[in-house]
Structure 1
């Protein structure tokens, strides 16, 4: 089994409730959405293995990735992208010798069903202002994915909402209410460089029904990957 990867590296988690934990990052290539603020390359002919200081041709074998997982001293393995759910079959073939932490846009419910075994889910709720095509369908699939990968005794699931300067507060609250029973909390994340005053007001309202925190992209402030 093989998959196209952008890079593999070790660093601290820079977003969400688990900011600061040490992780092995497996960054998959490709995404089914095209958010205007995305800062991640979509494809690459080579995978940058920053742990071993080498570049390897794509696609990368599961055996190669498994060896890095087995030998890394980390809190968890961050499966990120791009959109890692596009590679659900590859992920399913990996041995979970470390906890698996899935970062997903939560728009591929059929793939989500294959990844129920993950230990952590950092799932996105896209806002209309992210300019994704077919937003209403995207939102419907997002709610379905959260139902499939909901927070349980064995899986910790939270929702991350990336917010530009301009957003519809009422629409976000209504969408969050559809998800609140499937997560242990919400993270409001400003687009890097955006203001937070309006976001703080949204936080006040969302705290009436869920643990809601404002957490920026900490790794960018630290200057690490």
Structure 2
């Protein structure tokens, strides 16, 4: 996969940070990352993917349920399949994970070292790189003026009937605008759409 210069620069930083390799999954939605890239040993990547280890990887579970950065050794989640030990046999003896973004579009990066734990300074660098890659590859969200106004009225406290009356449309037409706004923002609920619209300063 070809990357732009800013992404390449950040991946170069990861290369220097992680002697045993790294894994990048950006904007994971419905268990699939929009962008995936790995420099882990090819034999490990093949084994990991063929056996669907992402379904049982404690580092992935940590990244889905947390944001921030941690060493693998600090993850207190069950590892019944011994993935960390198995990764160690491929040279991924020590590692760290960072996670950024909302649950609906989470980005997770893992880095590995064969000889030692990562320092606090290295963890800080990993967190910064993760945030930068997440932000750089975030889709520019937008709303039509009608969609934005519908969400703005609800956010200010109006109910559906009152908001529709303010706009001079039927309640069913108002609900259709809300539905189209949810689809555009990839939000499951109207509350989530309002939150995302506020986060992106669309209302």
Fold match (TM-score > 0.5)? no
Structure with the higher fraction of residues in helix conformation? 2
Normalising by structure 1, we get a TM-score of: 0.27
Which structure has more strand as a fraction of its residues?
A: 1
